Structure formats: C-alpha cells, structure tokens
C-alpha cells in the first residue's frame, strides 16, 4: 500500500499545464473582481450628477461595497472550509457579477448602496478563496511568485475599468460599465468544471477518486492504484471550529500581527486612492487626467506585486515584506515634497508598488502561514479585519484635509501606518508557519511523496 502525502506532492511538483490552468482561472477571477471594485470610482462623477447627490453621500455610496467586502472576506472565506472552495468561489462570482450589474439599473442612492453592499460580499469573499487555491496548488519553490502573479490581476482589473470606463460612459451612460460587470456570471459553470477542489476538503469527504485525478495532474508520473492511501499532516486536516485554530499551536500572536499589517496596509491603499489626486491638485501639481493617475498607481502595483513575489521566493518572505513597508513609508512621505511632475509620477508608481503591491505579497505570506485546512479562514479573517482600515482611511484623511494642514503633514499621516505594519511583520513568529512546520516534520523522512509501504 502506498501512503501519499498530498501536501508534499503539491510542494515538490514541477510547474505544468495543470498549474497554468489554475493560475489562469484564478487570475481571471481576480481581474473581474478588480474591475467590479474600481468601476464605482470611475463612474462616480456621472452617478453624482444623474442622482443629484452631494460628495458626503457619494462617499457613503462608494463605501457600501467596502462594508460588504469586510463581511464577505470573513464569512465567505470561512464557509469555504466547510462547503468546498469551488462552490464558495462560484457563489462569490455570482454575488459580485449579479449585484454590480444590478447597481447599474438603480436610480436612487439607497438602492445603489444596497446593491453595492451585496456585490461587496462577493468581491471580498472571493479574495481569500483564490489566494488559498493558488497557494495550495503552487509548487513550493515558486509559490509566492504564483500567488502575486495571480493577484496582479487585481491591478489589471482596475486598469481595465479605467480604460473601458471613459468610452462606455460617454457613449452609453454610467450604467453600461456596471452592466458589463455581469458577464462573468456566464462563466460559473466552466469555472466549476475547470477548478480543482481543495485537497483537504476532498480527503475529509472521502472523495478519493477525485484526489487521484488531482495528484496525477500535479505529478504526471503518478499511476493511481486501488490500494493508494491519501494522507495529510495533522495540522492540514479539516477539523471543527477553524476560527479557533487560528490561535492554536502558537499562532495566536502572529495572527494578530497579520491583522494589524492588513489593517495598516489597506488604510494606506484607500487613503491614497481617495485623496492623492485632491492633495496633489491643492498643492498646485498638474497630474493630467484621473485616468493617467489610475494607470500609474496600478502599474506600480503590478511591478511591486510580481517583483515582491519573485524576491519572496528567493529570500525570506517576512523580511521582503518588512523592506516593502519601509519603502512605502519613505515614498509616501516624499510625496509631500515639492518636485517635478516626472519625479512625482515615479513616486506615485513606487507608492502603488509598496502599498497595493505589498498588500498582495502580504496575502501570499498569510496564505503560506496557515495549514491547508484553515487557510481560507485565516486569509478571510485577516482580509476582513483589514477592510475596517479601508473603510476608516477616507474618513480620517478627509478630516485631516478639512483641517488644512501643510501638505507634508497629510502624507506623513498616511505613511505612519507603513511603519506600524513593518513592526507588526517583523514580530510574526515565522517558526509557527505551516510551511516551516511541514518542512521540519518532513526532514526526518527519507521516503518520497509517493512512498511504498
């Protein structure tokens, strides 16, 4: 009888067509997700004009999706460990596609806000699930690169919304960009068929035939036999009360540190996306169109995400993240210094790389930290707590702007969370991570992943 450690098979697999397909579908889902989140900001001026709402109320309309994302990340991230990751992802796609399209059919602020909240449940819920999916099926040597490459689709979605938004709104009205977001719902049957299920979930449900198919795709040299016995390290097995497990086995302190890092990083991301253009305009800079700003910020985010993931696979991911947060503190602080437009655009790109890009690498780290069985839950709770920082940022920085402080002080206020996040990441106990523990357990085992007994 062969004892097959599916975790070890996934770790040691060589990149092949199966990995490429998982990456393609997860990245495509994140592109849809990024589009749905960015579309409200692109269309906001037209919405305000048509519905006749003032800026304060418009801000609440936009933040409705952020509230939804907070709850979606926590609850739909957790439920995936119980109903299976494929169905959780399908539910999320259905939510953000249907209700983003529905928002395009509304004619009053209240109904618009309700539909955006419901769309936000899906937008927030799909993130921890696709990160967990990509982490589980990526070879260990390129895991951070795979996750960050996938998550760079988020920036692609934002750029897509910016590029398509202007033409669609001018020709067909603001509703068109929302209605276009409903198209991904048509892909749900294909995604359910194409995406593999989580291996710990299949093992817990006794679905060994499906496991054999997945293992043969991870390792094409594997020939399934009737006597094969699949196993996972104890910490990777699905158990009850997964939320409680985030604080077991010495993970409690590091879990809180991850939550602080997520909160601080998302605070910076949404502080910049909400107020950077306004702050720079008030300082006398000519940034050109808002489209150019969105493209520069998101292009920087893509470079930061992919570059950070590449570095994390070659050096210690914890200290790569620490360095990126330090870069965020420096680059954001320098935005308050008078300089040429060219230098400003460079700094905006660096700010995108070290905030949005860093957030994506942080997702990769938290995905590697927790065992498979509670990975979606761990990512979901970190993302959900972080969303409270996203909601708070526009309000706090808005209050500072209203105080008419010097430009430098506003940017220092946005940069301070980067310092706090750097300290939090530095205090994470990497020795308690799933990858380190599994490596230690496997060190004394000479048999390969597919061992004969």
pTM of this prediction? 0.74
For 231, the 3-state DSSP assignment is strand
Q: Which pLDDT belongs to residue 236? A: 47
Please give the Cα distance from 453 to 441 (Å, whole number). Answer: 19
CATH architecture of 2-195+242-437: Up-down Bundle (1.20)
Please give the Cα distance from 442 to 436 (Å, whole number). Answer: 10
Mean pLDDT across the stretch 3-7? 73
Per-residue pLDDT for 86 more than 60?
Answer: yes
344-378 pLDDT tens trace: 889 889 998 999 889 888 888 887 888 876 777 78
134-189 pLDDT tens trace: 888 888 888 878 888 888 888 788 778 877 877 787 788 888 888 988 989 999 99
User: Of residues 265 and 127, which shows the higher confidence score?
Assistant: 265
Please give the Cα distance from 162 to 359 (Å, whole number). Answer: 21
Q: Which pLDDT belongs to residue 436? A: 55
What is the domain partition of the chain in residue ranges? 2-195+242-437
Choose from 44-48, 284-288, 313-317, 390-394 the range with maximum mean pLDDT: 313-317
Q: How confident is the prediction for the chain on average, in pLDDT? A: 80
- Could you tell me the CA-to-CA distances from 402 to 173, 247, 275, 321, 390 in Å, in that order? 32, 41, 12, 33, 19
Tokens (6 digits) for 159: 């750029």
Please give the Cα distance from 88 to 81 (Å, whole number). Answer: 9
User: Of residues 202 and 413, which shows the higher confidence score?
Assistant: 413
Per-residue pLDDT for 308 more than 60?
Answer: yes
317-349 pLDDT tens trace: 889 999 999 999 999 999 878 777 778 889 889
22-56 pLDDT tens trace: 999 999 998 988 888 778 777 777 777 888 877 66
- Could you tell me the CA-to-CA distances from 343 to 139, 269, 303, 380 in Å, in that order? 39, 20, 17, 37
For the chain, the three-class secondary structure string (H helix, E strand, C coil) is CEEEEHHHHHHHCCCCHHHHHHHHHHHHHHHHHHHHHHHHHHHHHHHHHHHCCCHHHHHHHHHHHHHHHHHHHHHHHHHHHHHCHHHHHHHHHHHHHHHHHHHCCCCCHHHHHHHHHHHHHHHHHHHHHHHHHHHHHCCHHHHHHHHHHHHCHHHHHHHHHHHHHHHHHHHHCCHHHHHHCCHHHHHHHHHHHHCCCCHHHHHHCCCHHHHHHHHHHHCCCCCCCCCCEEECCHHHCCCCCHHHHCCCCCCHHHHHHHHHHHHHHHHHHHHHHHHHHHHHHHCCCCCCCHHHHHHHHHHHHHHHHHHHHHHHHHCCHHHHHHHHHHHHHHHHHHCCCCCCHHHHHHHHHHHHHHHHHHHHHHHHHHHHHCCHHHHHHHHHHHHHHHHHHHHHHHHHHHHHHHCCCCHHHHHHHHHHHHHHHHHHHHCCCHHHCHHHHHHHHHHCCCCCCEEEC
Choose from 248-252, 443-447, 448-452 the range with maximum mean pLDDT: 248-252
């Amino acid at each position: 009888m062969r004892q097959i450690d599916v975790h070890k098979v996934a770790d040691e697999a060589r990149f092949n067509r199966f990995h490429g397909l998982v990456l393609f579908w997860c990245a495509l889902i994140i592109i849809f997700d990024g589009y749905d989140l960015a579309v409200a900001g692109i269309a906001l001026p037209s919405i305000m004009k048509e519905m006749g709402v003032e800026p304060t109320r418009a801000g609440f309309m936009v933040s409705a999706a952020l509230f939804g994302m907070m709850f979606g990340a926590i609850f739909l991230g957790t439920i995936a460990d119980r109903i299976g990751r494929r169905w959780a992802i399908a539910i999320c796609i259905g939510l953000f596609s249907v209700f983003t399209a529905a928002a395009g059919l509304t004619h009053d602020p209240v109904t618009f806000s309700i539909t955006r909240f419901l769309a936000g449940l899906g937008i927030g819920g799909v993130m921890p699930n696709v990160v967990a999916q990509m982490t589980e099926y990526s070879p260990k040597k390129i895991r951070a690169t795979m996750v960050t490459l996938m998550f760079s689709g988020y920036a692609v979605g934002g750029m897509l919304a910016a590029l398509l938004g202007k033409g669609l709104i001018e020709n067909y009205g603001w509703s068109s960009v929302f209605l276009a977001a409903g198209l991904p719902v048509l892909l749900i049957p294909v995604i359910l068929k194409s995406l593999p299920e989580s291996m710990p979930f299949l093992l817990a449900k006794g679905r060994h035939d499906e496991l054999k198919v997945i293992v043969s795709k991870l390792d094409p040299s594997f020939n399934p036999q009737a006597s094969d016995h699949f196993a996972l390290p104890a910490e990777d097995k699905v158990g009850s009360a997964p939320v409680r497990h985030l604080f077991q086995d010495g993970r409690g302190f590091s879990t809180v540190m991850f939550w602080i890092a997520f909160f601080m990083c998302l605070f910076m991301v949404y502080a910049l996306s909400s107020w950077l253009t306004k702050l720079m305009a008030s300082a006398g800079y000519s940034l050109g169109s808002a489209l150019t700003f969105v493209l520069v910020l998101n292009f920087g985010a893509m470079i930061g995400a992919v570059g950070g993931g590449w570095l994390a696979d070659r050096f210690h991911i914890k200290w790569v993240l620490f360095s990126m947060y330090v870069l965020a503190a420096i680059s954001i602080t320098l935005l308050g210094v008078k300089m040429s437009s060219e230098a400003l655009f460079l700094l905006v790109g660096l700010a995108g790389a070290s905030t949005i890009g860093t957030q994506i690498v942080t997702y990769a780290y938290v995905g590697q930290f927790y065992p498979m069985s509670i990975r979606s839950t761990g990512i979901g709770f970190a993302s959900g707590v972080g969303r409270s920082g996203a909601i708070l940022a526009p309000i706090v920085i808005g209050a500072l702007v209203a105080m008419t402080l010097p430009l430098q002080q506003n940017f220092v206020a946005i940069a301070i969370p980067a310092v706090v996040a750097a300290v939090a990441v530095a205090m994470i106990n990497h020795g308690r991570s799933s990858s380190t523990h599994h490596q230690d357990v496997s060190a004394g085992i000479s048999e390969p992943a597919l061992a004969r007994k």
